[in-house]
A and B are shown apart, each in its own frame.
Chain A
Amino acid sequence: MIKFENIGLRYGVGPEVLRDVHFTLAPGSFHFLSGPSGAGKTSLMRLLYLGIQPTRGEMQMFAQNAQQLDRHKKAFLRQKIGVVFQDFRLLQHLSAFDNVALPLRIQGQKEKDIRKNVEELLKWVGLGDHMNRLPHTLSGGQQQRIAIARAVVTKPRLLLADEPTGNLDDEIGYKLMILFEQLNKTGTTIVIATHNEQMMERFRHPRLVLEDGELSVEDAIYATQTKKILDGVY
């Protein structure tokens, strides 16, 4: 379970970008994180993948107080989290295969197992023929699929994705959402930050809505109804 209580975040001496953020993510849940640009989505994602520390409040991650963990335990905790970054953050000197294999190597898995799992996953995301290609020789969509494969290869307990379908056409985006759904069914908690209303409509999951640094939680039906009201359907 992930629990944020009265979380506040400010960078340096600037204003608070997140204020009194309070929510709970049950194990195996699936949430969209939405809100206008600059509302603090990326900051909240960074908090979730332990990239930054909140300036106040309490963060419980998998029954541990994330703020009180030492460096070693924090590293171990991060191994349970898969992240798809908006800008992919692939290592450009490594092949598609090695980029995806990286989290498994960090976890110290055997090279034989790594090869089997990574090859299987890359084939599954349609990059079986591009395993040895360097990221910069691949298209944006292909790079995004590598980033996604890297995030899911360890079968993480929490998957965070920042605009994961942003560079993909509708069909591939839909297929990737199916991949996330399948992963979710195996027990992985998923949070997807997105602006894509169409996608949120299609895959009905509760939404964490950030607006001006404050968070509200809407269930899927409520969110859909609100949207329809705003769109003038009712």
Chain B
Amino acid sequence: MTEFGHTPITDTPETPRDKDTILYLNNVTVSFDGFRALNALSLVVATKELRCIIGPNGAGKTTMMDVITGKTRPDEGEVIFGHHTDLTKMDEAEIANLGIGRKFQKPTVFENLSVFENLELAIKGWRSVKNCLFFKLDKATQTRIHEVMETIALSSHASRLAGELSHGQKQWLEIGMLLIQAPQLMLVDEPVAGMTDSETEQTAALLKQISQDHTVVVVEHDMEFVRELGGFVTVLHEGSALAEGSLETVQSNEKVIEVYLGR
């Protein structure tokens, strides 16, 4: 359990920016043709935290990820990484190189490359064209890739094309690609969508293990899975944070019940 499990619930998080904050969203608004996908959203994530974001469809979960990773520019508001890095002025590649990794909702791996090559491309460093042209695989890198393949249980599939993997294995490979990037902050969008129960369980264990050394933000629909992860939960609704707290407290919140069960 994280220390956040004991903090009182607040409707809008007004947590001060202390030195442990890794991600700070303040008053972020994004609209598409008048529709407010994010509406004055504020969110604070602490270092090494495992945060779950839940919310009905259209609550703005994916847009929030897009804003953090630089795919979408907010109309208003601040997005601060670490102490004072303003993410709203950077593009995807810059943000990724700062140490923010992202896993997509639909598993996105490089289908025509092998599992090994997928991880090799994700490993930290060698990002410029010149470096890539003269890149040579060294022992340490190789060892690291094998370690990660071990973690995501794909060691025996190293030379298989990623496109041949099962759906669940692709999801793990993508998590592995995140992991090998060694990001400080991992954004994981619906990691268990379409997984079998046992795969879901394994994924929960994997994410819990990862969150020991990384800050992980998970967007998820599956309540069972969120319970299994056991992190601090933020409920999004119509583009802003409706409630925060442990899953139990959030689930007993009247506003949340109203949103989820209909008004």
A, B from the same assembly? no
Give me the interface of B with A, judged by CB distance under 8 Å: none
Give me the interface of A with B, judged by CB distance under 8 Å: none
